[in-house]
């Protein structure tokens, strides 16, 4: 078993280890941590949700909450490490008396899904790994037929998926002039006659090889769980599945989030890029509500200060072709359908680690430059961490279909996609503080004022003043307000022998601004409201007023009907 103390966030946990770790965390901290299953994966594994809050100050669903999930993509293993580090930081900070974390857990809730896609991660972490970027479900054909072409997997049994190269006079790759191990694309003008050229493939087997072509079939590797959400879903989006929520992992995730209407913020942990990405994926910033864009940028500044990661709009900065946007993602769904500020954290930028400069925001499409490839290879050479093998010298291998090839080159899992394991903890460590900062920005109800006035003949006027003490409005976003996604504040008055004379005991109080409104020119007290009841009861009777809001939490006050 991997204990809390033994795990230093410096390696990737297999499923059983992960389950044991979160269970142990809950057993050791029953007042703070609870673990539940919110669904089952395609291969039948339990999908785990970890709830963290100070239960002595109220149940998890009575407080505004921050949602974090990780590793929807199988190869993006750093994300699970980051989610576990958040959990550990919350518990450790509370136990050690960290003022900010203590305040956060007493007034907020954190919902953390450490691994959305356990099946794919198990394939990638197997002793003999098979590549899956996302779901392992055979798709679009259910019989798992192996179509002609390359199927990425560990073919020599060394526990790695590297690259394969072999000479080809028309090959699109040549050796870098400063390091023959590093291959770069053939330049537009071509290369001199006689210069060796290569064909390069990911390590794997080639089904039904015809001796000349090696197609890369989209199925089954093409099913992308992060294109299966109901926001902008479409069949034109690669890997989107049979219909929105067709995949058990995403259906269960959406249902778990909808069942927790106290969620006020959302963060999905991914790799790579070393950036904080925000919606929209499908429209420019000019189409977003200006108040939301402003608030996102305020939160982004905090995130950058705490993590060192710059913030970008997915559409404005990261979309290569805006006529073909990638929709159906979780962050778009959380903003558009739930109306909460959402983020995708892309951990790790190997180019920055090697060169000191951020990779291009179009890196996912264009790849690295020749100089970046060389710099990364040399940087990996210098690491004193043989376990990672981020770049491997080429060695001969007799391929079952291709014949004589060389294996080596990039071990993408431990170079471009995830950091070397010795750097894992440092890479993810700062992001727990950003999660806490987002949680503390959420709206939070407080009965800040009470008054009792004797009207006469055993009648009383009971008044409460309700405040939103959070930075964000109770709707959280303008998107939620525009589309009426959030129910209003409700106040209830109850007491033994108490009769309400002027209407119902339950009142709707609408929505309240947060303290952020003053930066947008608000005057007066848009973050406060009052509610009163005319009641009949004997002197000395007690009434309890409870205010509730699906996002801003619950507060109550007991008031004695006595004017002395």
* CATH number for position 490: 2.60.40.10
Read off the CATH number of the domain in which 293 is found: 3.40.630.10
What confidence score (pLDDT) does residue 1 get?
41
Q: How many folded domains does the chain comprise?
A: 3
- Give the 3-state secondary structure of residue 418: coil
Q: Are 460 and 431 part of one and the same domain? A: no
Q: Are 187 and 233 part of one and the same domain? A: no
In a domain, 361, yes or no: no
Q: Are 292 and 393 part of one and the same domain? A: no
The side-by-side arrangement of strands in the sheet containing 499-500 is 445-456, 459-468, 528-536, 499-500
In a domain, 232, yes or no: yes
Given a cut of 60, whether residue 5 has pLDDT beyond it is no
Q: Are 176 and 232 part of one and the same domain? A: no
In a domain, 9, yes or no: no
Tell me how far apart the alpha carbons of residues 328 and 247 are, in angstroms, rounded to a whole number.
13
Which pTM value belongs to this model?
A: 0.95
Q: Are 88 and 199 part of one and the same domain? A: no
Q: Are 434 and 301 part of one and the same domain? A: yes
Tell me how far apart the alpha carbons of residues 284 and 338 are, in angstroms, rounded to a whole number.
20
Residues 6+ apart with CB under 8 A from 327: 227, 231, 232, 233, 234, 237, 281, 282
Task: Give tens-digit pLDDT for 381-405.
Answer: 998 665 578 999 999 999 999 999 9
In a domain, 462, yes or no: yes
Maximum C-alpha span of the chain: 107
Q: Are 228 and 115 part of one and the same domain? A: yes
What confidence score (pLDDT) does residue 321 get?
87
In a domain, 358, yes or no: no
In a domain, 188, yes or no: yes
In a domain, 6, yes or no: no
Q: Are 166 and 54 part of one and the same domain? A: no
Q: Are 186 and 291 part of one and the same domain? A: no
Task: Give tens-digit pLDDT for 192-231.
Answer: 988 999 999 999 999 999 999 998 766 545 789 999 999 9
Q: Which of 396, 414, 432 is the last residue in one of the domains?
A: 414
Given a cut of 70, whether residue 319 has pLDDT beyond it is yes
Q: Are 199 and 243 part of one and the same domain? A: no
Task: Give tens-digit pLDDT for 8-44.
Answer: 999 999 999 999 999 999 999 999 999 999 999 999 9
In a domain, 134, yes or no: no
What confidence score (pLDDT) does residue 517 get?
87
Q: Residue 339 phi/psi, 5° resolution?
A: 75, 40
How is residue 269 annotated by DSSP? E
Q: Which domain holds residue 389?
A: 141-218+382-414
Q: Are 148 and 260 part of one and the same domain? A: no
């Amino acid at each position: 078993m991997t204990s809390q103390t033994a795990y230093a966030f410096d390696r990737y946990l297999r499923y059983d280890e992960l389950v044991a770790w979160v269970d142990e965390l809950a057993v050791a901290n029953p007042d703070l941590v609870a673990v539940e299953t919110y669904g089952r994966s395609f291969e039948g594994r339990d999908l785990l949700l970890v709830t963290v809050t100070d239960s002595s100050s109220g149940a998890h669903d009575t407080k505004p909450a921050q949602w974090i999930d990780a590793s929807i993509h199988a190869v993006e293993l750093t994300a699970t490490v980051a989610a576990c580090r958040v959990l550990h930081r919350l518990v450790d900070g509370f136990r050690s008396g960290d003022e900010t974390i203590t305040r956060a857990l007493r007034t907020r809730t954190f919902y953390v899904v450490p691994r959305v896609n356990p099946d794919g991660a198990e394939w990638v972490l197997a002793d003999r790994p098979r590549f899956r970027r996302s779901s392992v479900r055979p798709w679009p054909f259910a019989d798992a037929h192996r179509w002609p072409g390359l199927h990425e997997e560990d073919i020599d049994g060394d526990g790695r998926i590297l690259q394969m190269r072999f000479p080809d006079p028309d090959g699109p790759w040549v050796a870098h002039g400063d390091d023959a191990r590093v291959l770069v694309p053939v330049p537009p003008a071509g290369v001199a006659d006689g210069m060796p050229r290569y064909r390069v493939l990911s390590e794997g087997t080639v089904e039904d090889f015809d001796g000349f072509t090696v197609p890369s079939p989209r199925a089954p590797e093409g099913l992308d769980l992060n294109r299966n959400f109901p926001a902008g879903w479409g069949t034109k989006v690669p890997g989107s599945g049979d219909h929105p929520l067709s995949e058990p992992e995403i259906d269960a995730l959406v249902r778990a989030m909808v069942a927790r209407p106290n969620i006020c913020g959302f963060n999905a942990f991914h790799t790579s890029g070393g950036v904080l990405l925000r919606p929209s994926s499908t429209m420019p910033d000019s189409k977003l509500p200006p108040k939301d864009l402003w608030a996102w940028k305020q939160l982004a500044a905090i995130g950058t200060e705490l993590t060192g990661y710059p913030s970008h709009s997915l559409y404005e900065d990261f979309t290569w072709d805006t006529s073909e946007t990638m929709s159906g993602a979780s962050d778009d769904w959380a903003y558009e359908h739930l109306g909460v500020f959402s983020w995708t954290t892309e951990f790790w930028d190997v180019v920055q680690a090697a060169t000191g400069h951020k990779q291009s925001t179009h890196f996912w499409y264009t790849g690295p430059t020749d100089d970046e490839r060389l710099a990364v290879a040399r940087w990996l050479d210098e690491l004193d961490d043989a376990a990672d093998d981020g770049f491997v010298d080429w060695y001969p291998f007799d391929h079952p279909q291709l014949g004589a090839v060389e294996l080596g080159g990039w071990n993408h899992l431990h170079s471009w996609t995830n950091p070397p394991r010795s750097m894992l903890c440092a890479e993810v460590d700062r992001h727990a503080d950003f999660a806490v900062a987002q949680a503390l920005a959420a709206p939070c109800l407080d009965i800040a004022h009470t008054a009792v006035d004797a009207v006469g003949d055993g009648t009383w006027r009971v008044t409460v003043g309700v405040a939103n003490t959070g930075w964000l409005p109770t709707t959280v976003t303008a998107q939620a307000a525009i589309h009426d996604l959030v129910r209003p504040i409700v106040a209830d008055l109850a007491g033994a022998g108490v009769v309400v004379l002027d209407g119902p005991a339950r009142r709707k109080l609408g929505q309240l601004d947060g303290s952020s409104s003053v930066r947008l020119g608000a005057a007066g007290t848009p973050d406060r409201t009052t509610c009163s009841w005319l009641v009949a009861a004997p002197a000395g009777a007690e009434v309890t007023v409870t205010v509730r809001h699906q996002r801003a939490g619950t507060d109550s006050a007991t008031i004695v009907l006595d004017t002395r």
